[in-house]
Structures are given as structure tokens and as C-alpha cells.
Amino acid sequence: MTVFSIVISSFIPQYVQMWQRALELALPDRRVEVRHWADITLDAGKVLVVGSQNHKTFNDAFSGLSGEKDFSWYSIDPDELTAHLPSYWHNDIGADYAVVPYGQVKGMEETDEGQAFLHEWLMLNEFAGPPEQNGPQTVFYRTWPMEYETELVFGEVIALRGYDQDMAEVLPGDTVTFRFYWNAVQDPQANYSVFIHLLPTGNDSNLVTQADGPLVSYSRETLTWTDRDETLISQLFTLMIPPDVNPGEYTVWVGVYEPYSGERLLVTQGQKPIGDRVELSHLTINKN
């Protein structure tokens, strides 16, 4: 073997390593994806960062990933997570969200204690699996669950997993707020809206008050819902109770519709059709 051949053969492994590293650096980074997703999907809040691999994702000064919303962060070691009750992180630390290593979540799911812990939170999205990317694989949570769970599907496309309702009894002139939790069953083919109607119980023709709008927000309209595992949290919807409304029992109805045509999606519950709207909850309006 010549000196030239020896020199060339000794450099080939280095060139291969350099080429592989260059290919890795050319891949998109999951931390950029996580930060962008949070910015267009979530309300601003405090993020509990578990482990060191995401310690700069929400630290704008170091990551350069600042967006329109302000996310503060609180970093802990992985073994600290389950040293406290799930509610501790929201109630005592003030964390609204948590980003947890994917492997740690899968390990927790294998034990009853881990499953019980995660059940107290709301899983929003997984950032793992294909396509190949740089950065850690993680799971993103909100650090408290939804208030009421449902099993409603609209048009065989969109599932309503649950909702929050801040009050069940009000006075004339009060407001009631709702928040919805959605999944895509299939890729939506339009940007749908949701309506909330309040009617006297037993009288479905006398509309008292209503609210409507995009299911989540204008930055996450339903044409962007391409991930079946993603749970999307809506904006707050507010029903204004008229000051001259009669006291009594009222029903909250919800439906999903295509805003340009006004066509409503049919609702199923447990695969049973129930019409183009659904009775969601009840509201008592008391005397002033």
C-alpha cells in the first residue's frame, strides 16, 4: 500500500463522520417544533420542564425561539416529578404545562402509580417518532384535567372530549364561560365553527342567548388538525345572561357547523345519531 493510499484510508472514517454530522444538523429540531406549536396553540403560561434537554426551549434569551406569547419556565430533574402529587406542580409551583421526556412517560404508563399520576394531567401532544428530527422526544401536558368528559363526535370528523363550565347557577345579567377540548377523528375538510345556545328546558325554539366562533382559535382552525393524538383546548366562550330573563331551568346546546353554508355536522354519541346539535349541560337562573 502506498503512502497516498494510507493517508486517504485514514481520512475516510473522519469524512464519513463529518458527513453524518452534517446530515444530522440539516434535520429539523423538535424543540423548534414544540416552541412553535405552543405559540400558535396554547394560552401563554408557565412550563414545567422535566430534564435538561428542553431547558432552553422556553428560555428565549438562550434559545432564540421567542414568539408572540410569553412562556416562563421552571426546570426540574426527572426524579423530582413524581416526588410530589400531580396537583403540586400547578397549585404550588404555578405551572400551567409540563414537557416530559417521552421515555419517562412510557415508563410511568407501565405502573399503576404512574398511570394515576398522568391521569391527573391532560395530555396535549406527543413530539416523538417519525419523521426523523434532532432534539429530544417529549410529551406535552397541561397540569390539570378537564372538568367534564364527553364522548361526542361531530360529522365523524371531530370529537368533543370534554368541557369546562364555570357556573351551574347564575342570576340575570351574569355570564357563564365554557372551554372545550377537541380531537380530530379524520382530517377536517373545512374550517368549522361551534355554536352555544341557551334555551329554556323543554322549549327548543326560544333562544335566550348564544355564542359562537372557531372551535379553538383563528391560528388553529380545523384545517390544521392533522394529528389524531393532539388534544386542542378552545378559547373561552362566554354566554351573557340577559338582565330581563325569567328565572328557571335552562339547557345549553352545542353544535358544529360550516360557517359559509351554515350546514351543521350531525352528532353521534357512542355511535348513536342524536341530531345536528347536542344537549351539553343545564343552567339554573335564579331570581335577583
In a domain, 24, yes or no: no
In the numeric block, which cell numbers belong to residue 93?
409551583
Residue 19: is its pLDDT beyond 50? no
Which residues partner with 148 through β-bridges? 163
Is residue 94 within 8 A of residue 199, CB to CB? The reply is no
Q: What mean pLDDT comes out for the span 151-174? A: 97
Q: Whole domain around residue 67: which residue ranges?
A: 30-142
What type of residue sits at position 12?
A: I
Residues in a beta bridge with 160? 152, 182
Section 152-171 average pLDDT: 97
159/86 same-domain check: no
Q: Are residues 156 and 112 in the same domain?
A: no
Q: 70-123 pLDDT, tens per residue? A: 899 999 999 999 999 999 999 999 999 999 999 999 999 999 999 999 999 999
Residue of higher predicted confidence among 3 and 77: 77
Residue 169 and residue 80 share a domain: no
Residue 175 pLDDT > 80, yes or no?
yes
**Cβ atoms 9, 106 nearer than 8 A:** no
Residues of the chain with pLDDT > 90: what percent? 75
> Where does a domain end: 93, 114, 142?
142
- Number of compact structural domains in the chain: 2
Same domain, 222 and 270: yes
CB atoms within 10 A of CB 126: 15
Which grid coordinates are listed for 27?
A: 434535520
- With a cut of 80, say whether residue 200 has pLDDT above it: yes
Write down the pLDDT at residue 133: 73
Mean pLDDT of 242-248: 95
In our burial notation (b when 16+ CB lie closer than 10 A, e otherwise), range 33-56 reads ebbebbbebbeebbbbbbbebbeb
Strand-pair partners of 279:
253
The pTM assigned to this predicted structure is: 0.87
Last residue of a domain, one of 142, 157, 175: 142
Residue 180 lies in a domain: yes
In sequence order, the β-bridge partners of residue 275 are: 267
Q: What is the pLDDT of residues 210-236, one digit of tens each?
A: 999 999 999 999 999 999 999 999 999
Indicate the pLDDT class of residue 22, thresholds 50, 70 and 90: very low
What is the rounded distance in angstroms from the CA atom of residue 76 to the CA atom of residue 144? Answer: 18
How confident is the model over 3-18, as a mean pLDDT? 52
Assigned domain for 19 exists: no
Using one digit for the tens of pLDDT, what is the confidence trace for 41-67?
A: 999 999 999 998 777 788 766 656 667
Decide if 8 is inside a domain: no
Distance CA(276)–CA(273), nearest Å, equals: 9
Whole-angstrom distance, CA of residue 18 vs CA of residue 248:
74
E strands, the chain, in order: 46-50, 72-76, 97-101, 122-127, 138-142, 148-154, 158-165, 169-170, 175-184, 193-200, 209-214, 232-233, 237-240, 248-257, 267-269, 272-275, 278-285
Q: Are residues 201 and 76 in the same domain?
A: no
Residue 205 has pLDDT above 90, yes or no: no
Please tell me whether the peptide bond between 131 and the residue prior to it is cis, using omega within 30 degrees of 0. yes
- Out of 16-20, 226-230, 239-243, which region has the weakest mean confidence (pLDDT)? 16-20
Instruction: Report which of 182, 181, 106 is spatially closest to residue 138, judged by C-alpha positions.
Output: 106
The pLDDT mean for the chain works out to 89
Euclidean distance between the first and the last CA atom of the chain, given in angstroms as a whole number: 100
In whole angstroms, what is the distance from residue 12 CA to residue 17 CA? 9
